[in-house]
Structure 1
Amino acid sequence: MKFIYTLGLFVILSSCSSQKKNTLVTKKGLSDSQLLTLVQKQTFNYFWDGAEPISGLARERFHSDNVYPQNDKDVIATGAVGFGVMSILVGIERKFITREQGYERLKKGVDFLEKAERFHGAWPHWIYPTGKAKPFSKFDDGGDLVETAYLAQGLLCVRQYFANGSPKEKALSEQIDKLWKGIEWDWYRNGGKNVLYWHWSANVGWKMNFAVTGFNECLIMYIMAAASPTHTIPAEVYHEGWAKRGAINTNIAPYGFPIKLAHNGQKDNVGPLFWSQYSHLGLDPRGLKDRYADYWTEAKNHTLIHHAYCKENPKKYKGYGEESWGLTASYSVKGYAGHSPSHDLGVISPTAALSSYPYTPKESMKMIRHLYEDLGDKVWGEYGFYDAFSETADWYPKRYLGIDQGPIVVMIENGRTGLLWDLFMSAPEVQTGLKKLDFQSPKL
């Protein structure tokens, strides 16, 4: 009996110790600057301590508890890798890590990408640590041009960051340059059509048949394709494909905020917030204009519409309001969903408001304080804020998605210093590509 009691006490104490270890105490009274840095550092850890160990690159997802078992911790996500390498540059600048540590990790990742399976230069959506493609779906087992564009956006920032560094840093920049120039954007015109296609497979060819038209999160793909010095596309592919000969435009003003770009062709509503974030991790929207839109105004108004919608809270969900807002693609109570004002399931995704920090600093800061100071460890864990939650459903899963964590680190930094915007826009090819498509920017 004494042995059983002692063993039971040991188990209880061990459990308490483990729980204590996994509970992160929040600090009250932090200044805005201190809190922003803390959020960036904690979220950065997803791409540092939480990276897939063989490649050193970003995992697709990570579950912090056993409530939602996970059997895919080894899966690398190409888009999240692009966001992650940008986050490592933030980590260097914020002194979360040293420049040498950052270089070593980035070198390891670029070496992996150099050997990984590619399809006419494009990486797949998911990659195993062996470098082989992991099929995203039955016919999506080859190149993913959108995810590749996110990766290329990040890699160009790294190239620019190290371009004038030490000999080994310059060598890394040159290594990245070769990878970038090897992406065959023109191949993804599917036989020379004036539109880009999302997928191509060595096994099933163009069977996915997904021509990418706007407006959505894929703007950066067309920018990168136009910018390519080796496999570029003519301007007509952008204007006829992405912009649909002007049919990309609409003229609505939800809550009084004008929108000129039809979201996924829908003329009367707006989509999830990641559509105004992913392309602008590197592509600086400040003063960026073409014949279709002013991209700063579009991104800011898109965000303000979400903020106003959550304040109004027409479906009367618990917890929505001035300090709890933002709908985007994330985990949801039942699976995964692209949340937006027209598809509101009562789920708030922290990345939505936090990654909007450059557009709405005051509104986003209120959200950060509410999450950190009021909700605390319900939503805050070892890699920053968890992916999504619902007060209505009393649902607080301790799960992360790489493609949602990355924009938090990067966009907060862009709002604070413009770091990634400055790096990306400094690339000569990017400037050439934007000019080809008739964009205007103070940086051109």
Structure 2
Amino acid sequence: MRTVTYICLICLLTFGGQAQVKQSAEKTDFRIQQNLSDSALLDLVQKQTFRYFWDYAHPVSGLARERSNKSFDYGDEVVTTGGSGFGIMAIIVATERGWISRDAATDRLLKIINFLRKADSYHGVFPHWLNGATGKTIPFSRKDDGADLVETSFLFEGLLSARQYFNRDTPKEQELRNKINWTWNEAEWDWFTRDGRNVLYWHWSPNNGWSMNHELRGWNECFITYIMAASSPKYAIKPEVYHQGWANSSYFRNNRSYFDIKLPLGFNYGGPLFFSHYSFMGLDPRGLKDRYADYWEQNKNHTLINREYCVRNPKGFKGFGPDSWGLTASDTYNGYDAHSPENDHGTITPTAALSAFPYTPEYSMQALKHFYYQLGNKIWSQYGFTDAFNETQQWYAQSHLAIDQGPIIVMIENYRSGLLWKLFMSCPEIQQGLKKLDISSPYLK
């Protein structure tokens, strides 16, 4: 069996294995509405979840808070770079659907970009966490106190989508676009090849240099990082960095079948489902192909394998089945973990099935109805569904995490209208970056 460290595990590794989560006193007894149409239920879930990024955003920066509850050593002011990128995409959805005005959205996004323009960055790349009041770096771990290339790629996934959406010839929208472009142009992606090596590195710090020594090799959630790096107007990587770095690892190609479902890339059984979400909130996998994979097939089959594992439920956990499935990284009853078929302790995470709506709409709707109608009195709250639950342990989270809430809104919207896919894929730089890496897409002219 291969030795695996799922690259991110986003908060798992932060505190040496498990974040010691202290539950908040937030109530989850919001009234469940019965007999909603599928469309009305999707509206409700998207709109309620959006409140996390609108009502609960940091008041000074407008950026997304890391989580809704207190956790060991976090501090009150921590905001998340990647989660804020997802939150920016959620603001676009809310504007398009009329939950907030275009002016209000523009004002919030100007607050965000003005804050980022003054916040700490390193060769134009932002840290994982910032202090939402001051813009100073909050270390993610002892040596991770500088640039985080992956989180920054999630942030720019949102910012470039906003640039494409807010395209009117008004002073505010012009200012927003200009400041996004300045920030985008200043990020030195190629610098993170560490003196010209053919691979990207995740971290760099003025205090610790390259000591984290974390190469970005696939398959995992960092696909978007290579797309961004190839698309940079001023600091783009060479194609060799993608082909010899990202696509060169012992767990990149798979080409085995699980439950008679073929998996082109990645770990056994595919790993946590966030691999098929984070990169593809803006990047449209439909018809996206290169010499390594058809990315629609990859993401759909990864989802089907994850669900089938939950349906078969080989460990006999309570609450698993056709209407309750989805293993990914989240809070759990004893901390935080990156759940997958190879790391299953009975915790279901709603974002896993709900962010899979584009790939498995019937199965995701089945799960959504179960989460809302059957479990809503335990996991439905002012910010949508809480992070996770484990019925074997009789544990139901009261917490929310930005990186789990954002994909619910955005991927449901991509299923419904393709909005974020159309916006992000319309970026001329992204189209050029895909061509450079020899990735084909229907969007490419």
TM over 0.5: yes
Equivalent position of 1:308 in the other structure: 308
Tell me whether 1:286 sits opposite 2:286 in the alignment. yes
Deviations 1:369-402 (A, max 9, x none): 1011011120110100000110000001200111
- Aligned counterparts of 1:20 and 1:189: Cα–Cα separation in 2: 44
Aligned residues: 419
Q: Percent identity?
A: 55
Q: Is the alpha carbon distance of 1:165 and 1:306 closer, same or farther for their aligned partners in structure 2, counting shifts above 3 Å? A: farther
Q: Which residue of 1 aligns with 2:352?
A: 352
Q: Which secondary structure does the structure 2 equivalent of 1:258 belong to? A: strand
Paired with 1:165 and 1:311, the residues of 2 have a C-alpha distance of 52
Pair 1:335-2:363 in alignment:
no
**Matched residue, 1:159:** 163
Counterpart of 1:209? 213
CA contact (8 A) 2:269 2:305 kept: no
CA positional deviation for 1:440: 0.7
Gaps of 5+ in 1: 1-18
Q: Is the 8 A contact 1:116 1:131 kept in 2?
A: yes
1:399 lines up with 2:399 in the alignment: yes
**Cα drift, residue 354 of structure 1:** 0.4
Opposite residue 331 of structure 1, the aligned amino acid is D
Higher mean alpha-carbon deviation, 249-258 vs 113-122, is at 249-258
For residues 170 and 219 of structure 2, the distance between their equivalents in structure 1, rounded to whole angstroms, comes to: 41
The amino acid of 1:196's aligned partner reads L
One-letter amino acid of the counterpart of residue 386, structure 1: T
Return the letter of the residue paired with 1:158: A
Structural RMSD (CA): 1.6
Partner residue of 1:361? Answer: 361
Q: Is the partner of 2:304 in helix, strand or coil? A: helix
The verdict on how the C-alpha distance between 1:386 and 1:73 changes in structure 2, with shifts beyond 3 A counting, is farther
1:50 is the counterpart of 2:53: no
For residues 318-350 of structure 1, the C-alpha deviation after alignment (integer angstroms, 9 at most, x for no partner) is 000001000000001111100000100100000
Q: What does residue 62 of structure 1 align with?
A: 68
What code does the residue aligned with 1:121 have? G
CA distance in 2, matches of 1:229, 1:436: 12
Unaligned runs of 5+ in 2: 1-24
Q: Which residue of 2 aligns with 1:178?
A: 182
- Counterpart of 1:251? 255
Q: Encode CA deviations 1:389-444: one digit per residue, 9 max, x unaligned.
A: 10000001200111110000000000000000000000000000000000111111
CA displacement at 1:166 relative to structure 2:
2.0
Deviation at 1:246, TM superposition (A): 9.4
- Cα distance, 1:310 vs. partner? 0.5
SS in 1 for 2:323: coil
Deviation at 1:163? 2.6
Partner of 1:6: none
Decide whether aligned partners of structure 1 residues 22 and 372 sit closer, same or farther in structure 2, where only a CA change above 3 A counts. closer
What does residue 443 of structure 1 align with? 443
Contact kept, 8 Å, 2:27 with 2:381, in 1: the verdict is no
State whether structure 2 residue 118 is matched by structure 1 residue 112: no
SS at match of 1:439: coil
Report the Cα distance in structure 2 between the residues aligned to 1:388 and 1:100, rounded to whole angstroms: 35
Query: What corresponds to 2:223 in structure 1?
Result: 219
Does structure 1 conserve the Cα–Cα contact (< 8 Å) formed by 2:332 and 2:397? no
Larger Rg: 1
| Separation in 1, partners of 2:398, 2:290 | 41
Letter in 1 for 2:123: H
Match of 2:423 in 1: 423
- Using the size of structure 2 for normalisation, the TM-score is 0.92
Contact kept in structure 1, 2:354 and 2:364, CA below 8 Å? yes
Map 1:26-175; keep pairs closer than 5 Å: 26-63=32-69, 72-129=75-132, 130-175=134-179
Contact 1:60 1:73 in 2 (8 A): no
Equivalent residues of 1:239, 1:245 under 8 A apart: no
Give the conservation status (yes or no) of the 8 Å contact 2:269–2:306. no
**What is the alpha-carbon distance in structure 2 between the residues aligned to residue 358 and residue 99 of structure 1?**
26
CA distance in structure 1 between the partners assigned to 2:104 and 2:62 by the alignment:
12
Give the deviation of 1:250 after TM superposition. 1.9
TM-score by length of 1: 0.92
1:144-194 CA distances to partner (integer Å, 9 max, x unpaired)? 000000001110000111133423202211110110111100110011100
Distance apart, 1:262 and its partner CA: 2.4
Matched, 1:187 2:182: no
Q: Where in structure 1 do 4 or more consecutive aligned residues deviate above 4 Å?
A: 19-22, 68-71
Q: Which amino acid aligns with 1:142?
A: G
Q: Does 1:408 align with 2:408?
A: yes
2:326–2:353 contact (8 Å) kept in structure 1: yes
